[in-house]
Amino acid sequence: MDDKAKTMFAYTDCVPIAMKMLLQSAETPSTDELLALCINLAANKRTAQIICEGQGLKMLMKRAFKFKDALVMKLIRNLSQHSGATKHLFIDYISDLCSCILKWEKGDFSLECLGILANLTVPDLDYELILKEYNLIPWIKDKLQPGITDDDVVLEVVILVGTVCSDDACARLLAESNIIHLLIELLNAKQEDDEVVCQIVYVFYQMIFHEATREIIIKDTQAPAYLIDLMHDKNAEIRSVCDNTLDMIGEFDEEWAKKIQLEKFRWHNSQWLEMVESRQVDEFADSVYMYPDESGLDPYLRDADILDRPDLFYEGYDNSIMMDGHLTPEYIDDASLNSDFYSHQFAYDSEEPYVRPEGHLGFVQDAHSGLNHSGPEYGQYLNGDRDVSPYYKEPSYR
């Protein structure tokens, strides 16, 4: 359904009517056609707010758990992706969602529950308490083992790790649990899966913002080296996340900053470097042919890296300019050198981190017959009163 068409539904009575039709049949699962319409409507922020009004979300949750209906849970997952007040409504359902993914009784249904948890990017939500209360760390480590879990489950688990890593204490807990090394192993195993690679790189980006995990990533792993290799990936989203992550690494580690800038220089000037290097090789061959007695002398570039010879292309200029990999000789002149353009240093605001790349998980087609929900009707935290939720932390003033 076209996005503009979804928006038009918000100005009609169609959304309440569709929800009434969906919920009025209390004893049988809904038709796939009606669910497909509601799933598409839930993808729009305004129509999602209308769906959640009153007892809308509570009734949908009750129906989803009663019938273990993956399509109804898919609808609810679409609701959870919207920022603002709608996302906060899901705090009361964390208990039931965690219990469901730990049991993992029905694959598609549990996958949607996992996706909802991964969408809960709520400020001041105590992710560390959630991980400890439901003992999710061993479960996450088990799911991240390469070759054991289905790809769609692995992707959602990685997204969940990226979500909880926004919390400093939780990021430290994951790092101490060897999650970073598991992600690197998974990165090796899933090199051809762009979505998994992109989300793993985003996890590294999130962890760079925390001092404890930053040191582990930079000093104890080869994650920066993998990110440098991914700088030139064919996928534009992966390149973008890598660039942002490497820029942050370069700000905190001088040695890696030099390596990153050198690689950027090589990439942006590869054709020119190849031309200069081949010309020097040709000149040396000619000199050996014409002056065989002097063949014992080293050529201009023999056994030397061309990048160690700045006099070839930047003679007379400030060495600091060499660190900008985007510069080539034809763009450097006296006027630009005497201006303030090259002296500008780019800074990054840690309060506005890179936005998580969008996922594109496939549409779930199978509906499931009803099974009674084994727990309480609304679960331990489905009381509708978010003010007393145990998962909220005291507001921090950083």
pLDDT in tens, 103-127: 887 788 999 999 999 999 998 889 9
Q: DSSP 3-state assignment of 281?
A: helix
Tell me which DSSP letter residue 198 carries.
Answer: H
Q: Supply the pLDDT for residue 276.
A: 65
Is 136-281 in the same CATH topology as 1-125?
yes
Q: Which of 20, 26, 30, 74 is nearest to 51 (CA)?
A: 20
pLDDT above 80 (res 192):
yes
Mean pLDDT of the chain: 76
Q: Which comes out higher in pLDDT, residue 301 or 91?
A: 91
> pLDDT tens for residues 202-217?
999 999 988 888 888 8
Q: Which of 129-133, 183-187, 231-235 has the weakest average pLDDT?
A: 231-235
CA distance from start to end of the chain: 42
Q: Supply the pLDDT for residue 273.
A: 60
User: Domain 1-125, CATH 3.30.420.40 — does that match?
Assistant: no
pLDDT above 80 (res 226):
yes
CA dihedral angle for residue 327, residue 332, residue 338, residue 340, rounded to 10 degrees: -30
Q: Which comes out higher in pLDDT, residue 333 or 186?
A: 186
CA pair distance 63, 55, nearest whole angstrom: 12
> What are the extents of the domains in the chain?
1-125, 136-281
Helix, strand, coil shares, percent, the chain, to 5: 65, 0, 35
* Max avg pLDDT among 22-36, 138-152, 257-271, 275-289: 138-152
Q: Supply the pLDDT for residue 129.
A: 92
pLDDT above 80 (res 341):
no
Q: Supply the pLDDT for residue 313.
A: 52
Residue with tokens 């061993």: 138
pLDDT above 80 (res 102):
yes
Query: Domain 136-281: which CATH class?
Result: mainly alpha
